[in-house]
Amino acid sequence: VAEHRPRGFRVHTAAARVIDDDRDDVTVIVSEAPAVASAVFTRSRFVGPSVTVSREAVADHRARGVVVVARNANVATGKEGLANALEVRRLAAAAVGVDEHELLVASTGVIGVQYQMDSLRTVLGALTAAADTDFDAAARAIMTTDTAPKIHSARCGDATVIGIAKGVGMLEPDMATLLTFFCTDAEIAPDDLDAAFRRVMATTFNAVSIDTDTSTSDTAAVFANGLAGPVDLAEFEAALHETALRLVRAIARDGEGATKLIEVHVRGARDDAQAKRVGKTVVNSPLVKTAVHGSDPNWGRVAMAIGKCQEEHDIDQERVHIAFGDIAVYPHAPDAEAVERLVAHLDGATVEIHIDLGIADGAFTVYGCDLTEGYVRLNSEYTT
Amino acid sequence: VAEHRPRGFRVHTAAARVIDDDRDDVTVIVSEAPAVASAVFTRSRFVGPSVTVSREAVADHRARGVVVVARNANVATGKEGLANALEVRRLAAAAVGVDEHELLVASTGVIGVQYQMDSLRTVLGALTAAADTDFDAAARAIMTTDTAPKIHSARCGDATVIGIAKGVGMLEPDMATLLTFFCTDAEIAPDDLDAAFRRVMATTFNAVSIDTDTSTSDTAAVFANGLAGPVDLAEFEAALHETALRLVRAIARDGEGATKLIEVHVRGARDDAQAKRVGKTVVNSPLVKTAVHGSDPNWGRVAMAIGKCQEEHDIDQERVHIAFGDIAVYPHAPDAEAVERLVAHLDGATVEIHIDLGIADGAFTVYGCDLTEGYVRLNSEYTT
């Protein structure tokens, strides 16, 4: 749900039949005015040319937008893949009337397969510069195995921040996420934008994990064209954070095969970084995820997962406290009545796990989802 | 299959109804003669009292055997749990006529639940010192969710090495595995035994991963009573390695819900440690595991998983080679005929993934299994 639109951004979507159906799978988002930008990318050692090209494009913190091809990652495709990425960007830039160096390229989907360039050339050649602000269409067109589009907007003063995101599997962002793009008409200096964006990413998109698998294509970018004039910096960061957090919750809830959102709130850690490591270990544990899926009050698996953090020598099981929602389970095991309430909490759409390590003041919250037979089914059958 | 028996070891099994059925779930293995021993344990920060007590018992490298309680881990059970572990050991030692400090204690199963001590007292009190060498019964009695017992023996000169193991989930050993015990009548000095055992564990039980979850209870121990006299050290280590590797393959193949054994052979790494990290990352990737499950020739997921090793800055995708069995898939994508052979390989009971990083001479092989709907089903329903 996004009620507001930033001024001066155009959206184009088209169907290039990247795989054999009719849905839109090519998206161009572009600012009519010059814009400042910031972006973070996957840290994979097997990045695709889209990431390489986009890293270079955003290096000067000036970019107007992005062209996205869904359902083919264009990764592990060699020199031909790089040439194709550059041609896709050149064609998109020509169609919407900007310099090619002002566009990022993003692509997710199957790895190791070349783009069908004939079809992409036809579709990109037919794009017109006509104004359209249908960000909902863009949120749909960038999807791969997502079951629902992810879009949210927030206001700060006279300006708007809008964000879209996709990604439900192969998803443990580290420096970034799969694909998420933010557009704003706030006027903001490149350094301020970059600093705010990185802080927001750290506690939102870098705090979500569906299945521990890091994509080769993760890209998160923000574009600010200034058409709404100056904004209060703190208010802007709050709007960006709210938008990003809502997208993250939507992504975790829509994790491949997922039926529940899991939030792991860690506090009492040595520092925030330790709290994040512990939270990630718990939210990624297949045994915690399956127990949540089955509403199994098997809280001992959370203790096991904390125990996996073998390098955290200051974690002492005698000082740890564990709760689900408001139901404490460790060190005092729940009685029958509490187990009943625990099962009821596990049956809900959002499961909250609270861990207090009892060391110091570090805290962090991570987001994930349950592991289901649907995840296995979907990923056993993906390309065949 | 274990054709040979070491001299001088007795085996006791009994049904203590740890959970509500009649199968044997208490095991005592003990040498009639004094024995030297070595053991490695989980590095979890949430270890149970069994591990604490056993660590102390084996510190002087003298121990005759172990008492095992299956289907209750006795973890996160506080002071009462520790007192129970000590009482179980005392009762077992008295029944078989050894000093309590000569016995290890091991326990796996549900976390956070106290032993039913009445039943354990009755069963352990009724144990007799009568000779029995039924290691097959022990291999069955230590099982939890295993679907088959794991046992193997090998000869070295006049001596025998026999090993049993259990564990099919919550299993990514680091310093050790779930439960595995080796008995031998070889005569071997404590230091030699310890060194050989640690080397063998490093390339066998520390090279297997079912689901990345490290147990709170992992224990691997070897007991040598010397009744067969001296042996050639290299021959002994080879026999121990063969026994351990066969148990590891059986464990991976019997991973919870698993239908296939996955072996990831990494070579061309900077060193063996890097090869191991890369192999573990690949064998633990849910997307690789599900693709193998579905015989999906989606080899790009192996490239993705290698790419996840973000800290390995010397991995260059231009120098990497990937193959399944003898079918090369990267950097030259397989043609239609090769894809057909790839699917046939994936349909087999053992899937071999070969990765050459093209850096130097480091090599390591890791063992795992596919991820199936059966894994999710089993672990969603464990305690309820």
Q: What is the pLDDT of residues B84-133, one digit of tens each?
A: 999 999 999 999 999 999 999 999 888 888 999 999 999 999 887 666 88
Predicted pLDDT at A335: 93
Confidence at residue B24, expressed as pLDDT on a 0 to 100 scale: 92
Mean pLDDT score across all residues of chain A: 88
Better-scored residue on pLDDT, A20 or B143: B143
Instruction: Give the contacts of B178 (CB within 8 A, at least 6 positions apart).
Output: B108, B165, B166, B167, B170, B171, B215, B217, B218, B219
Tell me, what amino acid is at A200? V
d(CA B55, CA B43): 12
**Helix (H), strand (E) counts: chain B:** 11, 14
Q: Give residues with Cβ within 8 angstroms of B165, minimum separation 6.
A: B139, B150, B151, B177, B178, B179, B180, B181, B205, B247, B248, B250, B251
Tokens representing B141 are 């009695």
Phi, psi of A67 (to 5 degrees): -110, 130
Among residues B365, B337, B343, B363, the alpha carbon closest in space to that of B291 is found at B343
B169-210 confidence digits (pLDDT tens): 555 543 334 788 899 999 999 999 999 999 998 888 888 776
Residue A346: the pLDDT is 95
Q: Structure tokens of B16?
A: 């203590």
* Amino acid A176: pLDDT: 31
> Tokens standing for B373?
């709907």
- Phi (first) and psi of residue A22, to 5 degrees: -100, 0
Please judge whether B380 and A43 are an interchain contact, meaning their C-beta atoms are less than 8 angstroms apart.
no
Residue A214: predicted pLDDT: 62
- A chain contacts of residue B79, beta-carbon cutoff 8 Å: none
SS (H, E, C) chain A: CCCCCCCCEEEEEECCCCCCCCCCCEEEEEECCCCEEEEEECCCCCCCHHHHHHHHHHCCCECCEEEEEEEECCCCCHHHHHHHHHHHHHHHHHHHCCCHHHEEEEEEEECCCCCCHHHHHHHHHCCCCCCCCCHHHHHHHCCCCCCCCEEEEEEECCEEEEEEEECCCCCCCCCCCCEEEEEECCECCHHHHHHHHHHHHHHCHHHECCCCCCCCCCEEEEEECCCCCECCHHHHHHHHHHHHHHHHHHHHHCCCCCCCEEEEEEEEECCHHHHHHHHHHHHHCHHHHHHHHCCCCCCHHHHHHHHCCCCCCCCCCCCCEEEECCEEEECCCCCHHHHHHHHHHHCCCEEEEEEECCCCCEEEEEEEECCCHHHHHHHHCCCC
> How far is the CA of B84 from the CAs of A228, B48, B67, B72, B81, in angstroms?
70, 11, 13, 12, 5
Alpha-carbon span A311 to A308, nearest angstrom: 9
Which residues in chain B touch residue A303, judged by CB atoms under 8 angstroms apart? Answer: 46, 75-76, 111-112, 216
- Residues of chain A with pLDDT > 90: what percent? 59
Residue A307 to residue B214, Cβ atoms within 8 A: yes
Residue A83, both tokens: 């040439």
B276: three-class secondary structure by DSSP = helix
Residues linked to residue B362 through DSSP beta bridges, in sequence order: B269
- Over 70: is that where the pLDDT of B264 sits? yes
pLDDT of A186 higher than 90: yes
In this prediction, residues A165-181 reach a mean pLDDT of 61
| pLDDT above 80: residue A382 | no
Task: List the one residue out of B46, B104, B100 whose CA is nearest residue B77.
Answer: B46
Active site residue: A27, A144, A145, A177, which one?
A177
A336-354 burial, b at 16+ Cβ within 10 Å, e below that, comes to: eebbeebeebbeeeebbbb
pLDDT number for residue B7? 93
Q: What is the pLDDT of residue A30?
A: 94
Question: Cβ separation of B111 and A373 shorter than 8 Å?
Answer: no
Instruction: Give pLDDT, residue B315.
Output: 92
Asked whether the predicted pLDDT for residue A174 surpasses 50, the reply is: no
For residue range B20-64, what is the model confidence (pLDDT) as tens digits? Answer: 788 999 999 999 999 999 988 877 778 889 999 999 999 999 999
pLDDT at B281 exceeding the cut of 50 = yes
* pLDDT for position A235: 94
Q: Which of B384, B315, B369 is nearest to B147 (CA)?
A: B369
Q: How confident is the model at residue A173 (pLDDT cuts 50, 70, 90)?
A: very low
Contacts of A274 in chain B (CB under 8 A): none
**Is A42 designated active site?**
no
Per-residue pLDDT tens digits for A260-307? 999 999 999 999 999 999 999 999 888 899 999 999 988 988 998 898
DSSP designation for B112: S
Q: What is the pLDDT of residue A212?
A: 61
SS3 B144: coil
Q: Taking Cα atoms as reference points, which of B41, B42, B127, B142 lies closest to residue B88?
A: B127
Give residue A169's pLDDT. Answer: 55
> Which of B46, B145, B209 to substitute to test the interface with A, most A CBs within 10 Å?
B46
Yes or no, beta carbons of A73 and B300 under 8 Å apart = yes
Question: Tokens representing A166?
Answer: 């996709």
Q: Are B44 and B214 in contact (CB under 8 A)?
A: yes
User: Across the interface, do A380 and B290 touch by the CB < 8 Å criterion?
Assistant: yes
The region of weakest confidence among A49-53, A214-218, A259-263, B135-139 is: A214-218
Phi/psi of residue B118, nearest 5 degrees? -55, -50
**Kind of pairing, strands B65-72 and B103-110?**
parallel
Do the chains contact at B213 and A297, CB–CB below 8 Å? no
> Tokens in use for A65?
């937008």
pLDDT single digits (tens) A339-353: 999 999 999 999 999
pLDDT at residue number A215: 63
Question: Considering only CA atoms, which of B147, B209, B165, B152 is closest in space to residue B66?
Answer: B165
- Tell me which residue in A213, A290, A297 faces B376 most closely, judged by beta carbons: A290
Which residue does chain A place closest to B47, by CA atoms? A307
Q: Do A375 and B286 touch (CB under 8 A)?
A: yes
CA B356 to chain A, closest CA, distance in angstroms equals: 14
Catalytic annotation, pick one of B177, B184, B214, B365: B177
Instruction: State which residue of chain B sits closest to A74, comparing Cα positions.
Output: B300
Give the DSSP H/E element, type plus range, for residue B88: helix B78-96
Q: Identify the residue with better confidence: B233 or B253.
A: B233
Please write the tens of the pLDDT for every residue from B339-374. 999 999 999 999 999 999 999 999 999 998 888 888
Looking at residue B177, its pLDDT comes to 42
CB A14 within 8 A of CB A26: yes
Task: Kindly report each contact of residues A330-338 with a partner whose C-beta sits within 8 Å and lies 24 or more positions away, as own/partner.
Answer: A330/A299, A330/A302, A330/A303, A330/B76, A330/B112, A331/B76, A331/B78, A333/B112, A333/B113, A334/A297, A334/A299
Identify the residue with better confidence: B17 or A119. Answer: A119
Confidence at residue A207, expressed as pLDDT on a 0 to 100 scale: 81
Residue with tokens 């309430």: A341
Q: How close are the terminal C-alpha atoms of chain A, in Å?
A: 34
CB A281 within 8 A of CB A305: yes
Stated as kind and residue range, the H or E segment containing B52 is helix B49-58
Q: What's the whole-number average pLDDT of chain B? A: 88
Distances (CA, A) of A113 to A41, B180, B286, B325, B364: 21, 44, 21, 21, 29
User: Tokens representing B351?
Assistant: 């899937």
Confidence bin at A175 (pLDDT 50/70/90): very low
H/E run at residue B263: strand B261-269
* Measured CA distances, A152 to A1, B184, B340 (Å): 5, 66, 44
Length of chain A: 384
